[in-house]
Amino acid sequence: MSLLLFTHPACLRHDPGADHAECPQRLVQVIDAIGMTFPALSWRIAPAAQRTQLARVHGDAHIAAILDTPVHGRRQIDPDTAMSAESAEAALRAAGAGIAAVDAMMSGAARRAFCAVRPPGHHAERGAAMGFCLFNSIAVAAAHALAAHGLERVCIADFDVHHGNGTQDIFAHDPRVQYLSSHQWPLYPGTGAASEQGVGNVRNVPLPPRADGRALRQAWAQTLLPAMDAFRPQLVLVSAGFDAHHRDPLANLQATAEDFGWLTTQLCVIADRHASGRLVSMLEGGYDMQALRESAVAHVAALRTED
């Protein structure tokens, strides 16, 4: 089996509030579009991440704040980020999906995985939830690959339109993890300048508002993909945000679903070359429903080309 899909019903029950952009319908649309287009693909139920697994990237106080604080109605963490009573389990299942997907890759059960989960994760820092994100699921997956499987080189490729400040914050001083990001600049959260390079393991390519798919492809083809190839990752992790799409209401880039499909194919080529094909993708942003459907289908189609 070359592609596995992970999700959990709890991810639909996380409710950040009426009219919030990061709504349950996002995940409904992704799962529905993938299921309609690829009915034969195998879905697995995501387990819950354990506290010890979260603690590899998050402080104890942050973990306790998310998991141990009772929520009656809604708890507002910051102007963008809120929890409902079901949010803690959703966050545990989202992080657990990444862990289970990494285990599946390392056992040889599959060559690629896509985790259709929410809340997203790449803005969550070591000690803080922010930007719709509670736990940094992609960082938890990377840390699990290092600790549980002994990998020495893990690459995180992030093409969400917003910079993954949390992922960069967590791994900026860990040369075992390479973080590569294209994103709109200026835009929330205000990080991701090209000068931010960690210990040589971070590469950021900011794109100006209205930059199109050609600019996105050039950022990866000329800078980010060569850096990944030189790093020779043993596992490729992808923060798959589809909000660089031209229809997205929260940003101003002009990419298309076809651009995401192209980029996914390029990431798979490098995973094939250096990581025995091992690639785990996790849903991040994307807030226009039609664009999200089309982009998720293009992404999964590229992941499953060798089925």
**Which residue(s) pair with 45 in the sheet?**
7
Q: Known catalytic residue: 246? A: no
Active-site residue among 14, 123, 144, 183? Answer: 123
Give me Rg for the CA atoms of the chain.
Answer: 17
Instruction: Please report how many Cα atoms fall inside a 13 Å half-sphere around the Cα of residue 131, on the Cβ side.
Output: 25
Q: To which residue do tokens 């319908």 refer?
A: 25
Residue 13 is which amino acid? R
User: What distance in Å separates the CA atoms of residue 85 and residue 36, rounded to the nearest whole number?
Assistant: 31
Identify whether the C-beta of residue 117 lies closer than 8 Å to the C-beta of residue 94: yes
User: What distance in Å separates the CA atoms of residue 203 and residue 180, rounded to the nearest whole number?
Assistant: 5
At residue 73, the 3 state secondary structure works out as coil
Q: Catalytic residues, which ones? A: 123
